[in-house]
Each structure stands twice: as C-alpha cells, then as structure tokens.
C-alpha cells in the first residue's frame, strides 16, 4: 500500500510539470506567422507545415459558408 502511494505521489509530481506554456507547437500555427514565406506554398508544402494543413482550414478565407437547415418535426412549433 505504501508503494502505491509513493508511485502515485511521484506520478502526480511528474505530471504537475506538464502544462500549456502559451507557445504554438508549429510556427505556422501562430497567427503572427500566417503571412510568413515559410508558412505559404510552395515552401511549406515540402514538410507539410502550411497553415491550412496544420489547422485544417484556411484562416484567411473570409468567404462565408452557409448550410441550409431543414426543420424537422421535433423543431417545428405546433
């Protein structure tokens, strides 16, 4: 039982050092670097570090996309 407590205490202390430090994992995720030459094609395509690739969308795309919703019986008021 004492061994388990020691293991739990060491694990808790080790995990206490893990945390968000406010930095981006990749430079091209940082909005300040979105216009940098290294974060735009064709340079970024070599290592897959393009902003669009890392985020999954183009953050500079200002076109609005709309999705038409069709009301169902559950959402229509009687």
CA dist., res. 26 & res. 38, Å (int): 11
* DSSP at 11: H
Residue ranges per domain, the chain?
22-61
Predicted confidence at residue 22, as pLDDT, reads 78
| Contact assessment for residue 58 and residue 52, using Cβ atoms and an 8 Å cutoff | yes
Q: What is the pTM of this model?
A: 0.52
Residue 39: Cβ within 10 Å count: 21
39: left (phi over 0), alpha (psi -120 to 50) or beta: alpha
Predicted confidence at residue 69, as pLDDT, reads 80
Predicted confidence at residue 70, as pLDDT, reads 80
Each residue's pLDDT expressed in tens, for the chain with a length of 78 residues: 888 889 888 887 777 766 667 788 899 999 999 999 999 999 999 999 999 999 888 888 888 777 788 877 776 655
């Amino acid at each position: 039982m004492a061994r388990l407590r020691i293991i739990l205490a060491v694990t808790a202390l080790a995990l206490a050092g893990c945390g968000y430090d406010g930095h981006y994992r990749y430079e091209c995720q940082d909005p300040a670097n979105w216009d940098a030459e290294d974060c735009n094609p064709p340079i970024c395509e070599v290592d897959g570090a393009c902003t669009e690739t890392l985020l999954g969308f183009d953050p500079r795309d200002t076109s609005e996309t709309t999705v038409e919703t069709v009301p169902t019986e559950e959402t229509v008021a009687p």
